[in-house]
Amino acid sequence: MIVFGIDPGSERTGYGCVTSDGRRHRLVQCGAIAAGSASTFAERLQLIFRGLTERLQECRPDCVAIESVFAASNARSALKLGHARGVAMLAATECGLPVFEYAPAEVKRSAVGYGRAEKAQVQQMVTLLLGLDSVPRPHDAADALAVAICHLHQQGGLSTLPPVDTSVRRPRTTPVASSWRRYRPAAR
């Protein structure tokens, strides 16, 4: 299954495409679509639409997962975010793809195990879950990858794992992701 995750934003919209065979998730591509500060809001929305449409046509996913609007204290910011989400959903439906929405806390809980995880924790767990060498940047791309991973987990993307045989000791070939509770941000 190939899932295209979107973290909508009017300044910068993150995207991330993940493929899964039911056992392991792999990165297809990720990044962010950003417009210059000189662009009008309408131009930014057009850039988001075009950029997402191009990437959806490149990746050819099975579906799109998008982060839903959270309760914002600033009404103007919430409205702009709603416009960006609408444009992202339009790009997906124009490409004939089903769209699934997930609350931010649900995304964090699925990727990190804690619904109030910090951005650095999400980035670190996405890096571990996808077996990446470095943290996806910008953080919007990591958030979009977390949305895609959330959809895979919600749809049973890891449910086909065979039962673990604990009677046989196998050498570890890859590091095992630890709990978010053990996460410590790198010193700056």
CA distance 67 to 148: 9
Determine which one of 11, 21, 58, 67 is catalytic: 67
Provide the pLDDT for residue 123.
93
Q: Closest by alpha carbon to 65, among 56, 74, 76?
A: 56
Low-confidence ranges of the chain (pLDDT < 70): 70-72, 157-188
**Residue 125 is which amino acid?**
M
Q: What is the CATH number of domain 2-160+169-182?
A: 3.30.420.10
Structure token pair of residue 131: 């077996």
Provide the pLDDT for residue 163.
36
- Entry pTM: 0.81
Provide the pLDDT for residue 14.
96
Provide the pLDDT for residue 86.
95
158-181 confidence digits (pLDDT tens): 433 333 343 444 443 444 445 555
Question: What are the residue boundaries of the structural domains of the chain, listed by start?
Answer: 2-160+169-182
Q: Is 67 a catalytic residue?
A: yes
CA distance 7 to 140: 6
Determine which one of 43, 58, 62, 140 is catalytic: 140
Q: Are 160 and 20 in contact (CB under 8 A)?
A: no
Q: How far is CA 40 from CA 84, 141, 142, 146, in A?
A: 13, 23, 26, 29
Start-to-end Cα distance in the chain: 37
44-61 confidence digits (pLDDT tens): 999 999 999 999 999 999
| Distance from chain centroid for Cα 128 | 14
Provide the pLDDT for residue 94.
96
Please provide residue 86's backbone torsions phi and psi, each rounded to the nearest 5 degrees.
Answer: -60, -40
Q: Is 106 a catalytic residue?
A: no
